[in-house]
Amino acid sequence: MSEGRTAAAGAAIIVLGPMSMSLYTPAMPLLVQAFGTTPSVMKLTLSVYFAGFAISQLICGPLSDAFGRRPAAVGFFALYVVGSIVAAMAGTIDWLIFGRALQGIGVAAGPAIARAIVRDQFTGQTSSRILGLIGSMQAVGPALAPSVGAVILGIAGWQPIFYVMVLWGFMVLALLIFGIPETNPNANPAQARPLQILKNYATLLRDPGFMRVSLLIGFGVGAIYTLASILPFVMIERVKLTPTEFGLGMVCQTGSFIVGSLVSAKLMRYMDADRLIPFGTAIGVSGTLLLAVLTLFHDVTFLTVMGPTAVLAFGMALVVPGCTTSALSGFPAMAGSAAALMGCLQIGGGFVGSAVASLFVDPALALGTVIPAMGVIAALSYALLRPRARTGPKAAIDPADLEIAADPAGLVGGPGEEFESYRRPPA
């Protein structure tokens, strides 16, 4: 596929997960009353979604390496459609939670497979540009979705929000079946063996270069995901915005991320994407610390919350392209597994943040402590984990060249041997 077509298809696939995560959040206070439950129980609809989203990526990625990108994606997105129907027709909070869990499991195919499709076809700065756009959609989704959800809620109520997800799921299935060719030239059923899957993930987890950028994304973008579980209760119940006003107010976060993505794309014409990572990290962490100061020591207002949130979003927009390219470039034979683990850590960060935030009685206190803590952890992960030194001239190492040294089908050596092969100096 062309660069433009790949970017458009990847964005369409990946944005469904983040959008589904927070599309219904403006209705959460209303759903508490509709189902006769408590805010803590209602937050479980987000927690189970995060859990399913994070964990099932670890299965989806290897399956796409083993049997191809399209078959794995079609199966998982079909499950997402079933979950959306269950949620839309839920008569009790238990059924809503169950439907949300199915949604999370099914939609995990988005980030795992979209990133792998890019890695199958492109490397270097081209890969960075496409992954930057796709990563931007994954982070913009949680910010844009409440605005869309608030409009639907104001016009038709909460159930049509989930029917929109059903329709969107069918559209993605149609795109996968009729619009995206298979891109994995090294599909190998051996990659689906449990022992091989564990070996692949062990290789990734042992690599500090992979983990430093994955944890930075996990806790940095994960902080944006965590905001989706906190902001509805802060802005609607504390600041006294209407659901529609809350949804429209989230444009501040969305717009900031879009601006950051445009700035990032412009700067990548003159420098490598990985050089933007320290700057973006510093900006993002500054936003979280500013949020702590203004939330804990100042009256909670729209500006004191959304201003720092916009700074965080801008910083993360600078970070996403370089981190994603850096994480995937060293593993051509298991790009699906690498993308899946990175996505798991990213969504897992949101899950951990949301779970910790749910323990706070005061959502404003959670906002001023959990989000800054995630920002600090993200920065420390990047600063303290250093990539392993590589021998040979750095300029001679290109991701495209790794396929020459690697065993693309995974038939000769384990992933650890493949990973070490590109560190050896040329003979």
Class assignment of domain 7-385?
A: mainly alpha
According to the model, what pLDDT value does residue 125 have? 64
According to the model, what pLDDT value does residue 141 have? 66
Q: Are 100 and 47 in contact (CB under 8 A)?
A: no
- Reduced to 3 states, what is the DSSP secondary structure of residue 272? coil
Q: Which of 298, 293, 307, 285 is nearest to 238 (CA)?
A: 298
Listed as ranges, residues in the chain with pLDDT below 50 are 390-427
Query: How many beta carbons lie within 10 A of that of residue 1, not counting itself?
Result: 18
Query: How many beta carbons lie within 10 A of that of residue 110, not counting itself?
Result: 33
According to the model, what pLDDT value does residue 390 have? 47
CA distances from 307 to 10, 163, 218, 361 (A): 30, 33, 22, 24
Q: Are 80 and 176 in contact (CB under 8 A)?
A: no
Q: Which of 153, 130, 52 is nearest to 97 (CA)?
A: 52
Both structure tokens of 177: 């079946």
CB half-sphere exposure, 211, CA atoms < 13 A: 17
CA angle 250, 253, 257 (to 5 degrees): 145
CB half-sphere exposure, 391, CA atoms < 13 A: 8
- As to burial, measured by CB atoms within 10 angstroms (0-12 exposed, 13-18 middle, 19+ buried), residue 29 is middle
pLDDT tens column, 345-385? 887 888 888 888 888 888 889 889 999 999 999 999 988 88
According to the model, what pLDDT value does residue 394 have? 38
Cα distance between residue 68 and residue 336, in whole Å: 10
According to the model, what pLDDT value does residue 397 have? 30
Q: Are 389 and 241 in contact (CB under 8 A)?
A: no
